[in-house]
């Protein structure tokens, strides 16, 4: 009789991520191809295991003022209440109000890649977001303030030794608030998260990093509740 094992199932998910990311790094010689393949591995994880109310895609983000973010490797966004997603010549453009989180994916973590990810995250957080009152059966809820957009960096390995030591923390702290990385994973080593209550980073090393990161991300998304209802007429002004 076959016995199910939750630790084995969760461990297998983590091991599969490490193996696929490692294969991408070893097998592809062209840096662009290697990077695209690694992004696809992370996207597959999120598309498969996040609750269905969320979607994850490589995309640009736009606001109702016509401002665009830089291209983001992974955008996690609402698809249950968001009425406005653009698809154009293979490019996906998402309204700023619908965004829950954005991530950059790299082969390794180092100071340059953290700085790069911080700039990408800031390009999304600086966009303007509308919000409207929400009607319900007995009246109207007031407009919900825009939620905090989580930002992060995903990688297989680190250029630092130890990989999750002081150099990592110093690089993470060397930015303005709108560029802060809240969450990140080094699949062979562990993950980090910014604890807003203490304004400090927490390091979780060892164990099953990719699986632990996934669960932490889902927990953070749950805390975000639902994105605000966007004002579609503000976008309609561009017609």
Catalytic residue set? 73, 104, 106
Q: Do 75 and 57 contact (CB within 8 A), yes or no?
A: yes
Closest to 99 (Cα-Cα) out of 57, 50, 135, 133? 57
Q: Do 183 and 216 contact (CB within 8 A), yes or no?
A: yes
> How far apart are alpha carbons 172 and 147 in whole angstroms?
22
Q: Do 92 and 60 contact (CB within 8 A), yes or no?
A: yes
22 Cα distance to chain centroid = 21
Per-residue three-class SS string for 204-218: EECCCHHHHHHHHHH
Reported as type and span, the H/E element at residue 167 is: helix 166-173
């Amino acid at each position: 009789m076959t016995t199910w094992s939750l630790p084995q199932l969760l461990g297998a998910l983590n091991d599969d991520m490490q193996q696929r990311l490692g294969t991408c790094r070893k097998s592809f010689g062209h840096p662009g191809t290697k990077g695209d393949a690694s992004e696809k591995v992370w996207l597959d994880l999120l598309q498969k295991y996040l609750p269905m109310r969320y979607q994850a895609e490589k995309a640009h983000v736009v606001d109702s003022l016509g401002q665009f973010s830089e291209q983001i490797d992974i955008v996690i966004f609402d698809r249950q209440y968001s009425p406005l997603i653009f698809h154009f010549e293979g490019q996906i453009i998402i309204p700023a109000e619908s965004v829950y989180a954005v991530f950059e994916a790299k082969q390794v973590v180092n100071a340059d890649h953290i700085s790069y990810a911080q700039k990408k995250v800031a390009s999304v957080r600086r966009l303007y977001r509308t919000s409207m009152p929400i009607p319900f059966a007995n009246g109207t809820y007031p407009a919900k303030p825009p939620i905090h957009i989580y930002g992060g960096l995903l990688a297989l390995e680190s250029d630092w030794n130890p990989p999750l030591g002081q150099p990592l923390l110093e690089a993470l702290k060397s930015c303005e608030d709108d560029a802060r990385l809240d969450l990140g994973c080094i699949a062979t080593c562990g993950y980090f998260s910014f604890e807003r209550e203490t304004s400090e980073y927490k390091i979780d090393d060892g164990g099953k990093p990719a699986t632990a990161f996934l669960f932490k991300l889902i927990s953070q998304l749950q805390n975000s509740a639902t994105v605000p209802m966007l004002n579609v007429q503000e976008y309609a002004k561009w017609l």
